[in-house]
Amino acid sequence: MIEYRIEEDSNGMRLDKYLRKRLPNVPTSHLFKMIRVKKVRVNGKRAQPEQLLAPGDVIAIRGDEQQLTGPAKSGPRTPPPPPLVDPSELVILLEDDWMMAVDKPSGMAVHTGSGITGGTLVDYVRAYLGPKAVRNDFTASPAHRLDRETSGVILVAKRRPAMVHFTEVFTEGKSRKRYITLVKGKMPKDSGVIDLPLSEHQQTAESKARRGVNMQEALTRWKVIRQSSEVALLSCSIETGRTHQIRRHLAAVGHPVAGDKKYGDFAFNRDVRARWGLKRLFLHAERIEFPHPQHGGKVTVEAQLPPELKDILRRAALEPS
């Protein structure tokens, strides 16, 4: 039996992440299995991988301490070094001791993952912060998601309490996000709401087989900024944070986002690329409002439309008059 008592520095850390840190030589799949078969308990109760830990919590792990904490048979796993990046390329919109707001370019992934090459936003942020990237056992990390091909504002937590705060903010809908997008066709009116449930994006095949496709509530508000006979420039806000929500919703109502290779219209994308030179997804996270993690006051951060998207509007005759 192994016991760990949670200290203040680990406040708000997910259980699975805490266990991976404490037991680095135990395969992640085995850690999840231990939680699933109740070999891991928190304060004597059944544990969940995603539950957040608080100071004073006691984690009890049933198993041989030597096997769990000793060196791996093949030796300790050494993670590959992060790619070399130039931190001066990072566009910082706001920074203080608790957080950063960064203007992410299109094409940059937020996190590493399958098929991801080159520096991620995480790599740039940590290269920029250097030794200050780690504070009280917490490493600076993005507080929410932004699609790889989407540009714009993304928040980064520099302290664990800030990450806990942002998790609550985004889970409980206490932030306001505004996106700018160019879509196919003429909108039927000046503004509207798309209230259409979306299937869970990362639902496993096992889960689908057991309980069917899990549909999640999703609501997107849109407003026409400028309109031509061929395309519309929209402002969108989302009240739920489903994966690819704006792209999926607009495609579902017949107005796919320009440059969207996954949900868009292939012929339309080919046409706007040939005529106006659009080589990326036309979706930009322009503005976010949120309560600050330290004092709770409202903060607003904006990222201007990138030059390549402004150029598309000029060519499409949709520039502001």
Q: What does the pLDDT read at residue 11? A: 80
What is the pLDDT, as a whole number, of residue 196? 93
pLDDT one-digit tens code per residue, 121-145: 999 999 999 999 998 878 999 999 8
**Using CA atoms, how far apart are residues 139 and 123, in angstroms rounded to an integer?**
11
Q: Return the pLDDT at 77.
A: 56
pLDDT at 75: 52
Q: Tell me what pLDDT residue 203 has.
A: 57
Domains assigned to the chain:
2-69 (3.10.290.10), 87-316 (3.30.2350.10)
Residue 309: the pLDDT is 98
**Other CB atoms within 10 Å distance of the CB of residue 87:** 15
Give the catalytic positions in this structure: 147
Phi, psi (degrees; rounded to nearest 5) at 206: -65, -45
Query: What are the distances in angstroms from CA 270 to CA 156, 258, 259?
Result: 35, 10, 8
**Sequence-distant (≥ 6) Cβ neighbours of residue 55 within 8 angstroms:** 6, 7, 8, 10, 11
pLDDT (0 to 100) of residue 63: 83
pLDDT of 67: 75
Question: Which amino acid does the sequence have at 119?
Answer: G
DSSP string, 25-82: TS-HHHHHHHHHTT-EEETTEE--TTPBP-TT-EEEE-S-HHHHHSPPTT----PPPP
Which parts of the chain register pLDDT below 70?
70-80, 114-115, 201-211, 321
